[in-house]
Structure 1
Amino acid sequence: MKEMASLLRIVADETRLRVLRLLSETPLNVTELTTILGLAQSGVSKQVGTLKKAGLVRERREGLKTFYRLSEEGEVPEEGRPLWALLMDRVRSTEDSRHDLVRLADVLEAREGDTPGLHERLLAPGESWHAWSRMIMTLLPTMERAVDLGCGGGILTAELARACDEVVGVDISGSALSAARAHAERVGLTNVRFVEGDMTTLDLPDSCCDVAVLSQTLHHLPDPMVGLQVAARLLKAGGRLILMELLPHDEAWVTDKLGHLHLGFAATDLESMMEDAGFRITSLETLPPSRSERFRAVQACAVWE
């Protein structure tokens, strides 16, 4: 009875259940789990440690990395085995409401060698799953339409599609949109459409969107205010702007290699621009970089009134 009570206490946590669901599919390391869950690595490590201590997961080393796998039924303390079998049966059959399995597929694809190049890794502050997950969590539960202005390869567009009835991804780059369409098809999304062209000529009616996203888009525009004005035109009253931008930096190579027209923006300047465009800012936060990142990013949420 003691083992059963202990098991019930341990699994009475959503994050641990999500970890167990993922490990029931394949062994993963903490970095991969962090990417999928969109949580702080320290918190994920703690939850995995709790599961390991309880005998519910096992670890194995591969070179410098440690991978965790789900314990086999025979590896679980004997008294808790019947409950463990029932629990895992329910966990595997539960609806993937947070779309962890979709992100798992992306992680496994990256593991197989389809990893980002140098420039994409360097831009991780604004293109990391952790940062994007935090942005998605600022949205209201149900949205009819979102527009991703400057959607690039469409990774964030796909995330938005899981929170909205319809998403429109806009980008001036045809090659980027080809990748975006391929990604949306790969993950089975049918409520996304992509539009190639300048956002200022976008054929969408005024006040048609609940959410507008500008994720690392303003630094590609000659006049950053234009992006904010387009977002304002498209948003309904009370609609939300989700903004992610790089803070000022001295990496001048991005001008030639990545087409950046601005070397980041001060948070105070972004705040002023949003207010000048008619937005009421509800949050603005500088995201901390990891040791490997050259750039820092700022995230903001604002309401169009």
Structure 2
Amino acid sequence: MEQLLAGLRAAGEPTRLRLLALLARGELTVTELTQILRQSQPRVSRHLKLLCEAGLLERFREGSWVFYRLASGGTVAALAEVLTGLIPQEDIVIARDGERLEAVRAARADKAAAYFRANAEEWSRIRSLYVPEGKVEQAMMDLGACDRMEVVVDLGTGTGRMLELFGPMAKSGIGIDLSPEMLALARAQLAGPALAHCSVRQGDLYDLPMQDATADLVTLHMVLHYLDDPAASIAEAARVLKPGGRLLIADFAPHELDFLRESHAHRRLGFSEDEVAGWLVDAGLAMREVCHLPPEGDDDAKLTVSIWVADRPGDPARLKARQVEYEGVAR
């Protein structure tokens, strides 16, 4: 009761209701909120502090920036969801806030697009080396879709593409990346009501900002070959999986294209099927299957994409049974 009353008291003020209405549509920085509300930063920060203390909002730091969003769990978080659903969107103040929000999002998208244009030529060259990305995505969706997903997590989210694919299948989606530039691009890609339940945050793939056993699906799409310690990232991904959850990895099979290491920061020139399977088993996961997509097209296409699928069993007996099953199929 005290938590609910504190939440109601915190929300019962015009500016704070406006903040809730805005943050129900996606995460924003203090600077962006001051631009939309046309109020001073100290005043907006004070309102945000009260909403966070009441449990209606949560804040997270990304370098020198601080982002805010609606709280993701708990009784008071449910109250925030109810209150934002009651706010009349046709109200003139709320409508104007919405227009300014779209302007902020447009500026964010322009900045992200400029970054993409600056790097598009190099990305396009790498993509020409393997099967069309659409086929990789379709294979991942076929292999990774689970029933009744609550939380989807994409590690090394980049442009946020995996959240675009799997986000609509879940109640919430989280993308994690270390690069502020890629996070800005992902936020622009995820803007819009269909993916308002998805967010991205800065984080280390070896030390994820998440509790144990919180995700139904974790994806690692073309990420492992950039990492110094891929096995450690897989172990960390396994940590955040719920019992019955699934890990989905897409990366290159072994190859000899040294220019990817020299010019594109690839730490590893692909991975063998058994190498990744061993890391998955060491992380306590049960191998489900491996899919290989050979290159298509002209002679420049030289990379095979492999997709590994593994589950986190609910008990050790099931883990052993699933592993014996996989080894039998592999033989």
Q: TM-score, normalised by structure 1?
A: 0.59
SS in structure 1 of the partner of residue 195 of structure 2: coil
Please tell me whether residue 261 in structure 1 is matched to residue 288 in structure 2.
no
Please tell me whether residue 280 in structure 1 is matched to residue 273 in structure 2.
no
**Is the 2:287–2:309 contact (alpha carbons within 8 Å) kept by the matching residues of 1?**
yes
Please tell me whether residue 132 in structure 1 is matched to residue 137 in structure 2.
yes
Amino acid at match of 1:291: G
Structure-2 residue corresponding to 1:147? 153
Structure-1 residue corresponding to 2:187? 181
Q: Tell me how far apart the structure 1 counterparts of residues 307 and 137 of structure 2 sit (CA, whole Å).
A: 9
Q: Tell me how far apart the structure 1 counterparts of residues 135 and 275 of structure 2 sit (CA, whole Å).
A: 24
Q: Tell me how far apart the structure 2 counterparts of residues 194 and 126 of structure 1 sit (CA, whole Å).
A: 28
Q: Tell me how far apart the structure 1 counterparts of residues 224 and 191 of structure 2 sit (CA, whole Å).
A: 27
Please tell me whether residue 297 in structure 1 is matched to residue 321 in structure 2.
no
Structure-2 residue corresponding to 1:117? 121
Deviation at 1:122, TM superposition (A): 2.2
Q: How does 1:70-109 map to 2 (within 5 A)?
A: none
Write out per-residue CA displacement over residues 78-121 of structure 1, whole angstroms, 9 at most, x where no aligned residue: xxxxxxxxxxxxxxxxxxxxxxxxxxxxxxxxxxx979424334
Amino acid at match of 1:240: R
Deviation at 1:279, TM superposition (A): 1.2
**Is the 1:126–1:215 contact (alpha carbons within 8 Å) kept by the matching residues of 2?**
no
Structure-1 residue corresponding to 2:216? 210
**Is the 1:122–1:295 contact (alpha carbons within 8 Å) kept by the matching residues of 2?**
no
SS in structure 1 of the partner of residue 247 of structure 2: strand
Amino acid at match of 1:120: S
More helix by share: 2
Amino acid at match of 1:141: D
Please tell me whether residue 241 in structure 1 is matched to residue 247 in structure 2.
yes
Q: TM-score, normalised by structure 2?
A: 0.54
Deviation at 1:188, TM superposition (A): 4.4
Deviation at 1:201, TM superposition (A): 2.9
Q: Tell me how far apart the structure 1 counterparts of residues 198 and 265 of structure 2 sit (CA, whole Å).
A: 26
SS in structure 2 of the partner of residue 119 of structure 1: helix
Gap change, CA 1:225 and 1:187, over 3 Å in 2: same
Gap change, CA 1:296 and 1:220, over 3 Å in 2: same
Deviation at 1:202, TM superposition (A): 2.3
Identity of aligned residues (%): 26
SS in structure 2 of the partner of residue 281 of structure 1: strand
Q: How does 1:25-104 map to 2 (within 5 A)?
A: none
SS in structure 2 of the partner of residue 167 of structure 1: strand
Write out per-residue CA displacement over residues 162-188 of structure 1, whole angstroms, 9 at most, x where no aligned residue: 111111101111111111111111684
Unaligned segments of structure 1, at least 5 residues: 1-112
Unaligned segments of structure 2, at least 5 residues: 1-115, 314-331
